[in-house]
Amino acid sequence: MKVLRLSDEPLGTAEAMAADRAMRVADLHHDLQRALSKDTVLRRDEPLNRRTTLRVGGPADLYVEPAGEEELTAVVDLARVLDVPVFVLGRGSNLLIRDGGIRGVVISLAHPAFSRIEVRDGLVWAGAGAGLRQVSNAARDAGLGGMEFMEGIPGSVGGALRMNAGAMGGWIFDRVELLRYLEPGGNVREIPGVEAGAQYRGCPLLVRSVALGALLRGDAADRAAIQERMAVSNRKRWSSQPRQPSAGCTFKNPSPDLPAGRLIDELGLKGMRVGKAMVSEVHGNFFVNLGEATAGDVLQLIGQVRQRVREARGIELETEVEIVGEDEVAE
């Protein structure tokens, strides 16, 4: 890739770094075009707002949907050689992408090769790209309980493992017998779930490694009873959560007995707005997109709510939603 110069003045440090990064991304795109099969999706400057539940965010320099583990490994290896950053995108829940988008390569495990669900001997194998609702339904159909809480979470298995997603008193790592993942160096490993080091709203192992799937343990139960629990969970979710686009819970709970949503509600912050972003009037810990909100709107709203809580209660709220990418550069 040639970098065109309009003058003989030397590039500034920031400009030089941006030009170097652009060259490396272009080289990676060229190499991936040659290395990957036609079954893998590869695009430049891919819009990401439509790939998140909040519906905000800028583009990815490169976007890839590998057609299998071998193709995924090739993408990771080539990106490492060219020193291009890699970000793995699930189904876009619990995620806020800044308006400038994500530099480097964004990998999505949306290909069917990563969405396989199999049930055998009380265990459910779920690929990283499988939807949590589909996993919950498969477990129900096999008479396996304990995964009902996944039914209403709008995410993938890989994203849920990365964040140790939970709802209605259940957490995904409570059910993980075996975790399969790709190390940064390109090796695929399998370990017992208890060795993954999962914690509240996170799994440090998967910050740099890529979850490929997990073997989940179910409890034998009556199918009708499982279905009723799923229905109760679903009704509770839809009666207490907004229907507008959101990223899910914005903040972590300050303590087990002090939910962030209740704290925000007590301070009268429901309905607070910045641009087209608003603190939900249904649930104080959900920030919703009223239509054409920007990531900047949401970030400003997060900052204002944190400040009000800090001033009123002396509590520093910590974001649960993952904030990634770069701010949009003004022309």
Could you state, in order of their start, the residue ranges of all structural domains in the chain?
13-112, 115-224, 242-324
Tokens of 70: 């071998």
- Over residues 249-291, the pLDDT tens digits come to 999 999 989 999 999 999 999 999 999 999 999 999 999 999 9
Band (7; pLDDT cuts 50, 70, 90): very low
Q: Residue 254: which of 201, 317, 312, 310 has the closest Cα?
A: 317
Q: What is the pTM of this model?
A: 0.87
Domain made up of 242-324: CATH architecture: Alpha-Beta Complex (3.90)
In this predicted structure, what is the pLDDT of residue 247?
95
Residue 185: is its pLDDT beyond 90?
no
* pLDDT (0 to 100) of residue 65: 97
Q: Which amino acid is at 164?
A: N
- Find the mean pLDDT for residues 61-81: 96
Q: Of 33-47, 79-93, 228-242, where does mean pLDDT reach its minimum?
A: 228-242
d(C-alpha 239, C-alpha 243), whole Å: 10
The CATH architecture of the domain made up of 13-112 is 2-Layer Sandwich (3.30)
Helix, strand, coil distribution of the chain in percent, nearest 5: 35, 25, 35
Look up the CATH number of domain 115-224.
3.30.465.10
